[in-house]
């Protein structure tokens, strides 16, 4: 992932990315045996509610972290990769220190 100081390691058996120890992004395949491919990431305030309400076929409130505003994103449906890149970048700005966010330009 091309974000300053983002690192990858397993978390609960799944690939996850962190920035300075804070979880940024988690990839899931067949989570809870639902045959879905997707990821979870933190979202700015209000974004999760808006996306889930307007596009429930693509976005959902993930278990365990949804109550903290994290967003579930499906990747087994039509995917707009530019939108995915924007969502991941936004997640980074939620988690990363301001000094690292400033390096995004």
User: Is residue 47 assigned to a domain?
Assistant: yes
* pTM of the predicted protein model: 0.87
Is the pLDDT at 30 greater than 80, yes or no?
Answer: no
The predicted pLDDT at position 1 comes to: 58
The CATH number for 56's domain is 3.90.1150.30
Contact 94, 105 (CB under 8 A): no
Residue 83 lies in a domain: yes
**Structural domain includes residue 42:** yes
pLDDT of 71-84, one tens digit each? 999 999 999 999 99
Query: Looking at the 3D structure of the chain, how many domains does it have?
Result: 1
Specify if 1 maps to a domain. no
2 belongs to a structural domain:
no
Is the CA virtual torsion 104, 6, 1, 50 positive or negative? negative
Which pLDDT score, from 0 to 100, does residue 26 have?
A: 87
In a domain, 30, yes or no: yes
Q: Which domain does 43 fall in, by range?
A: 7-102
Site of tokens 């990315």: 17
């Amino acid at each position: 992932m091309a974000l300053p100081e983002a690192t990858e390691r397993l978390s609960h058996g799944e690939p996850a990315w962190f920035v300075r120890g804070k979880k940024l992004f988690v990839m899931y395949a067949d989570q809870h045996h639902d045959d879905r491919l997707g990821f979870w990431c933190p979202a700015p305030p209000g974004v999760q509610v808006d996306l889930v309400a307007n596009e429930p076929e693509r976005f959902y409130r993930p278990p365990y972290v949804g109550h903290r505003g994290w967003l579930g994103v499906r990747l087994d449906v039509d995917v707009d990769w530019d939108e995915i890149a924007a969502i991941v970048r936004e997640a980074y700005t939620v988690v990363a220190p301001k000094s690292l966010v400033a390096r995004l330009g």
